[in-house]
Amino acid sequence: MKSKINFYLIEFAINSLLRQKAKSIFITVVITFLTFLLASVFFITNSIKYELNATLDSLPQITLQDVRGGRIHDIDIKNVEKILAINGVSDASSRVWGYYYFEMLDVYFTVVGIEEFETALTPALASLSEKFDFNSIAMFVGAGVKKKMSERYYKEYFNFIKPDGSMKKVNIAGVFESDLELEANDMIVMSKQNVREIFAMSEERATDISVHVSNPKEIATVAQKIKEQFPSFKVITKDDLKLSYENMFNYKSGVFLALFVVAIFTFFIIIYDKLSGVSSEEKREVGILKAVGWRVEDVLKEKFYEAGIISVFSYLLGIALALAFVYLLQAPLLREIFIGYSDLKVSFRLPFVMDLQTLLLVFFLTIPIYIAATIIPSWRVASLETDEVIR
């Protein structure tokens, strides 16, 4: 057996694609578009899932808010000691933060306070607190915040308006780095003392209390105990938050979109096959090849090369376009389907997530369907008696 690649056969296949220009262009457009859509959907979904998981990891296991008369009030920090005394709680700390409405641009910033030696910080906040000068009136801002502020010519500092109407000028010490897009983009970090001043919050109070439980299986039990001891507290566990975050990143609808696209494609292939079948010209060509000594096997190999070349080319093109569309252009239009509308997000960038699995999935959802749709009718023609086809 000769196993060496038959370059003449490949050349013939390429030639054959070039000869049927209109058909080839049409097929390239369809497959490229399909791969592009599928890959875009999967890229966005992956990005969002990645972001979602990272965000969830950074959340406290239990968050406590003080709700009185249906309104959330600042919580008394004396409660921290009492919470720490509860069995199963390994750490509890008060958090000082709030949403600051920036009227000029109609956006919300998340203003977060940190203090020296604080333990319950996300990795990014922890590394920031190491270089932070807690005595200064300065802040670190996320890249998105920096951009928004610059738009209104706040490049060095920003004037916060306090509840009593007076202003507090805070210098921008730097841009906040975080792997979490959500954290990095609408967040402002400064000392707790400054945050209290901006929101007119007293020293004895905090926004909420975050609780860490040493054994994650006990989260529900601990939450229950806290609720019993502090009936006015709203006890929010990570699982509760997970749900609301998943709603925000409504990525499931995107997966349905992908399935829908594949269904349409399959349908299209069937229709196309039924309508065109194999043209009489193509039939005749197969007949000629057989008459000059090609075996059915040779004909099918050639058709396989043809289908393979055009579909792999279109696949690569589609993937390249999807990469550019999702990660360079940030998926205009499509991302609206995936990311629920939220005031809180200033500018959410899709993090670059790439895995072989996604590429293979898109590959197997498109290319084998197309190759089969080409080979099967050709096989039917090639199996006819040659004489009948070329007469």
Partner 1 sequence: MIELKNISKIYESNENNRVTALKDVSINFKEGELILLKGPSGSGKSTMLSLIAALSKPTSGEVIVDTKRISKLADTFAATYRRNNIGFIFQKYNLIPNLSVEDNILLPLIPLNLSEDEAQKHVKSVMEKFHIAHKKEIAVKSLSGGEQQRVAIARANVNKPKIILADEPTANLDKELSLKFIEILRELKSQNKTIIVATHDPLFFGLDFVDREIEMLNGELLV
Ligand X SMILES: Nc1ncnc2c1ncn2[C@@H]1O[C@H](COP(=O)(O)OP(=O)(O)OP(=O)(O)O)[C@@H](O)[C@H]1O
* Residue 4 contact among partner 1, ligand X, none, beta carbon within 5 to 8 Å by kind: partner 1
Closest separation in Å from C-beta 352 to partner 1: 44
Under a CB-based contact definition with an 8 Å cutoff, are residues 345 and 187 in contact? no
* Residue 276 contact among ligand X, partner 1, none, beta carbon within 5 to 8 Å by kind: none
Site string for partner 1, 17-36 (x = CB under 8 A): --x-----------------
Structure tokens at 58: 């950074």
Measured from the CB atom, is 300 or 389 closer to ligand X? 389
Pairwise CA distance, residues 328 & 376, whole Å: 39
Measured from the CB atom, is 271 or 288 closer to partner 1? 288
- Of 330-389, which residues contact ligand X (CB under 6 A)? 388
Quote the strand ranges of the chain, DSSP E. Answer: 62-68, 71-73, 75-76, 89-102, 107-114, 138-141, 157-161, 167-175, 187-191, 205-206, 208-213, 233-237
Q: Counting contacts by CB under 8 A, is residue 269 touching partner 1?
A: no
Q: Which residue has the tokens 């709603």?
A: 247
* Residue 2 contact among partner 1, ligand X, none, beta carbon within 5 to 8 Å by kind: partner 1
Closest separation in Å from C-beta 390 to ligand X: 10
Query: 296-323 and 356-382 helices cross at what angle (nearest 10)?
Result: 150
Number of residues engaging ligand X in binding (CB under 6 A): 2
Pick from 76, 115, 246, 298 the residue near partner 1 by CB under 8 A: 298
Under a CB-based contact definition with an 8 Å cutoff, are residues 213 and 88 in contact? yes
Closest separation in Å from C-beta 367 to partner 1: 25
Measured from the CB atom, is 274 or 391 closer to ligand X? 391
Structure tokens at 170: 């805070």
Structure tokens at 49: 């899932």
Measured from the CB atom, is 130 or 385 closer to ligand X? 385
Amino acid at 194: N
Under a CB-based contact definition with an 8 Å cutoff, are residues 162 and 124 in contact? no
Measured from the CB atom, is 220 or 288 closer to partner 1? 288
Pairwise CA distance, residues 200 & 78, whole Å: 19
Return residues touching partner 1 (CB under 8 A). 2, 4, 6-9, 12, 15, 19, 284-285, 287-298, 383, 385-388, 390
Return residues touching ligand X (CB under 6 A). 388, 391
